[in-house]
Structure formats: C-alpha cells, structure tokens
Copies of this chain bind each other. A is one copy, B any other.
Amino acid sequence: KEPFVLIAGPCVIESREMALETASTLKNITDKLGIPFVFKSSYDKANRSSHESFRGPGLDEGLDILAEVKDTLDIPVLSDVHSPEEAEIAGRVLDIIQIPAFLCRQTDLVLAVGETKKIANVKKGQFLAPWDIDQVVEKLESTGNHKILLTERGASFGYNNLVSDFRSLVRMAETGYPVVFDVTHSVQLPGAAGDSSGGEKEYAPALARAATAVGISSLFIETHPNPAEALSDSATMIPVDKMENLLKEIKAFDDLKKGI
C-alpha cells in the first residue's frame, strides 16, 4: 500500500519566481511528511468565467517554467491542456497531462493526450455520472496508453453549486485506475461570485479527510502563498502556510485507511 500522492500548486503560474518558490516550499513539506509530490500549475486558464480575467503565461513560457521547476527540484509536474496540439507539445515536458473537466468528452483531445504516452489525468465533468467515466477510459485505452488517473471534482447540483458524491470515488476505482480527489475545486461554487466562481474553502479539510477515509490514490489541492491576492480561484485555494498541518492531518487518515 502506497501513501497518497499530493498533486498541488497554485491554480495558475503567476510568475516564474512564484512557481519555483511555491513548488520548493511544497517539496520541503512533503519530503518531511513522506508524501510523494507532483507540482501542478496551469499555464493557461482557458475557461475563465470572464474574458477579462488573468489567463497565465501561455504554453511556451509556461512549459519553460514548469521544466525549470521539474529540473531544479527534481519533481514531476502536471498541467492541463486544451487542444490536441497543446497535448503533443506539453507532453514533451509534463509528467502528467490533465484533461479539464469541461473537455473530458472531447474525443480528439482525449486521444491526443493518450498518444503522448504520458500519464493522463482525467477530470470527470460536472455533468457526468461516475460510470460515464468508463467511456473516457476506453478512449484513452484505445491509444494503448494505460497510465490513467481519474479525478472527482464535484457534480452539478442545482445552480452555482457542486456536490461531492463520495460514491463516485468507489465507483471510479472499479475501473482499476487510481482515483484522485480534487479537494479545492470540489468546494467551488461555480459562477456564484457573478463574474467569477466563489467557494467554500472552510469545507476543504473535512472533504479531504473524508476522501482519504473512503480511499484514494491521490489528492489534488490548489494552494497559494496568499490566496486573497491570487489571480484565480482565490476563494478556494489553501494558503501555503496551512498546508503542512492539513497534510499531516490527512496523512493520518490515509495511513489508517491503507494500514500503513
């Protein structure tokens, strides 16, 4: 039995320094706690509520920064892609390529991610049932790629609200692939802030504990040195300086679940 892998980092790459610093801090924390760590940050927020919101450094500069994080700190990196072309290019740098929830049904994108032969992390769309993920898995498998992660990030529940259905973690694990619980997007209130998404960060620790008690392979947590000033997802990101305590708490539940 392996401890959970932490996939974490700021929602978007705000700058080279910020990415490196945050990654370095998280690496120190996870090394100390014995938690395998993958750095996550987006180079392009392609589906912001508002077109006036910050999107990130873009593909080229973003990959360059992620490559530097990867090399400097010797850690795997994850980012999300939005087109088959991006998948191919990003696959040269990334260890894990993420398919965004809204795009999880776009066949060409799914196949292109599969073709990279890198690990594919599929975020289950807010509009999908847990068993609907089987078809996405089949698309990926058709490329010969069986390195697949399946992420729960909440299901649509009325308007401007998501609900985390923990049955989903169990059902998706029946595919045989590792299941990830996306803690901070699961507490998002999509569109609830009018021109951006709101969130209920206060529920993140409870849902993270719950997910480890159900049983997961990985937790996905967005974190930022100063969420109030963050350029995206400020309502849901966890302050970096709260991460050590949070991870320590969660790890105890994960260890218990796995008999570690």
- Using a CB–CB cutoff of 8 Å, the interface residues on chain A facing chain B are 46-51, 55, 82-83, 102-103, 105-108, 110-111, 125-132, 135, 138-139, 142, 155-161, 163-167, 169-170, 187, 190-191, 195, 200, 202-203, 206-207, 209-215, 252-253, 256-257
Contact A170 B206 (CB under 8 A): yes
Q: Among the listed B103, B130, B210, which residue makes an inter-chain contact with A213, where contact means beta carbons less than 8 Å apart?
A: B210
Contacts of A111 in B (CB 8 A): 51
**Knowing A49-B132, A126-B156, A256-B256 touch, does A55 contact B107 (C-beta < 8 A)?**
yes
Give complex CA distance A83, B103 in Å: 12
Q: Among the listed B83, B129, B167, which residue makes an inter-chain contact with A191, where contact means beta carbons less than 8 Å apart?
A: B129
Contacts of A163 in B (CB 8 A): 155, 157, 163, 165
- Taking CB as reference atom, which chain B residue is nearest A51? B139
Contacts of A105 in B (CB 8 A): 47-49, 102
A175 to chain B, nearest CB (A): 15
Contacts of A107 in B (CB 8 A): 46-48, 51, 55
Contact A195 B164 (CB under 8 A): no
**Knowing A135-B195, A158-B159 touch, does A167 contact B203 (C-beta < 8 A)?**
yes
Contacts of A256 in B (CB 8 A): 252-253, 256
Lowest 7 CB-CB distances: which A-B pairs, in order? A158-B158, A129-B159, A213-B213, A210-B210, A156-B156, A209-B213, A47-B105
